[in-house]
């Protein structure tokens, strides 16, 4: 088994590399949302009653979506996905062991905070808040492809939001004295204030809006491409970042810091 390259692990403890990765992850998130928007809502995929099937097989005790995400995670666990400190499962209970020995490296994160996982919240937010805003009504029957697209969106959002752990670790290492008092006082508000830079957040919101315009336009060979039609509404992406992605990333940072002295 190849060891995870030290370059890769070092990059998780360097603020400039983390920043670059977060910017790059915006592209992945937007690509994944654009791809999900190829399919209509396909509600039957998410139903956990028997609307799809009067006599469901035992594997479908919950929704087809639930089955698909859980089984995909089990498969990816076998392939070693969750040995990476960047990855957090949506259904982390009873995941199978990796088929290969896990990479042999010193933990990057402080162990008490490493296991923070707010995917339940992310899943709920994705299904209830984001998805209805970016897809059309209707049902085209392409449930498997739709669920696979959902998984891509969820994993991209989860990776981005849990990246807060690395950001918090690096910020703490760079200036422990800035955070120690607030951590000892369990002062979430003070920590949140230390982690908030409004001008940076505004810039991120503008940049993801611009990216959604660029990546979601219909490109043809004429000079001026955009007809103002985007595959996912750029203002929704920007709003979702401002109201959810950024606050949740900061909340992961706060929770991580609160455990940093344990």
Binding site for a copy of itself (CB under 8 A): 1-5, 7-8, 24, 27-28, 31, 34-35, 38, 44, 52-53, 56-57, 59-60, 64, 67-68, 71-72, 75-81, 84, 87, 99-101, 103, 138-145, 147-148, 152, 203, 206-207, 210-211, 214-215, 217, 219-221, 225
The CA distances from residue 99 to 81, 195, 231, in Å, are 11, 39, 39
The count of C-alpha atoms lying within 13 angstroms of the C-alpha of 127, restricted to the half-sphere facing its C-beta, is 17
Shortest reach from residue 189's CB to a copy of itself, in Å: 30
Residues in the chain: 262
Contact residues for 148 (Cβ-Cβ < 8 A; gap 6+): 68, 72
CB atoms within 10 A of CB 119: 19
Shortest reach from residue 5's CB to a copy of itself, in Å: 5
Shortest reach from residue 168's CB to a copy of itself, in Å: 22
Shortest reach from residue 57's CB to a copy of itself, in Å: 5
Comparison of 152 and 180: residue with beta carbon closer to a copy of itself: 152
Shortest reach from residue 103's CB to a copy of itself, in Å: 5
Q: Which of 3, 2, 1 has the alpha carbon at shortest distance from 105?
A: 3
Q: What is the DSSP letter of 244?
A: I
Comparison of 8 and 259: residue with beta carbon closer to a copy of itself: 8
The whole-angstrom separation of Cα 109 and Cα 115 is 9
Kind and range of the H or E run holding 104: none
Comparison of 87 and 187: residue with beta carbon closer to a copy of itself: 87
- The single residue listed with the structure tokens 């498997």 is 144
Shortest reach from residue 176's CB to a copy of itself, in Å: 29
Comparison of 78 and 239: residue with beta carbon closer to a copy of itself: 78
The whole-angstrom separation of Cα 212 and Cα 59 is 37
């Amino acid at each position: 088994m190849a060891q995870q390259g030290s370059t890769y692990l070092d990059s998780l403890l360097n603020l400039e590399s983390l920043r670059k990765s977060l910017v790059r992850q915006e592209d992945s998130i937007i690509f994944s949302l654009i791809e999900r928007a190829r399919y209509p809502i396909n509600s039957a995929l998410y139903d956990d009653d028997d609307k799809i099937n009067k006599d469901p097989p035992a594997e479908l005790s919950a929704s087809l979506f639930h089955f698909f995400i859980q089984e995909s995670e089990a498969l990816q666990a076998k392939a070693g996905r969750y040995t990476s400190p960047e990855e957090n499962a949506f259904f982390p209970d009873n995941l199978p062991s990796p088929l290969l020995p896990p990479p042999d490296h010193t933990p990057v994160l402080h162990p008490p905070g490493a296991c923070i996982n707010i995917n339940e919240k992310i899943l709920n937010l994705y299904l209830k808040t984001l998805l209805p805003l970016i897809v059309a009504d209707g049902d085209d029957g392409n449930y498997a492809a739709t669920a696979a697209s959902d998984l891509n969106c969820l994993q991209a959002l989860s990776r981005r939001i849990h990246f807060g752990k690395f950001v918090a670790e690096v910020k703490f290492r760079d200036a422990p004295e800035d955070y120690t008092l607030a951590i000892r006082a369990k002062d979430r508000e003070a920590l949140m204030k230390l982690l908030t830079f409004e001008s940076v957040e505004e810039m991120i919101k503008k940049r993801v809006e611009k990216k959604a315009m660029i990546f979601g336009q219909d490109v043809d060979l004429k000079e001026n491409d955009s007809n103002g039609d985007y595959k996912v509404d750029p203002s929704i992406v920007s709003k979702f970042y401002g109201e959810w992605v950024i606050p949740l990333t900061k909340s992961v940072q706060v929770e991580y810091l609160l455990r940093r002295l344990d």
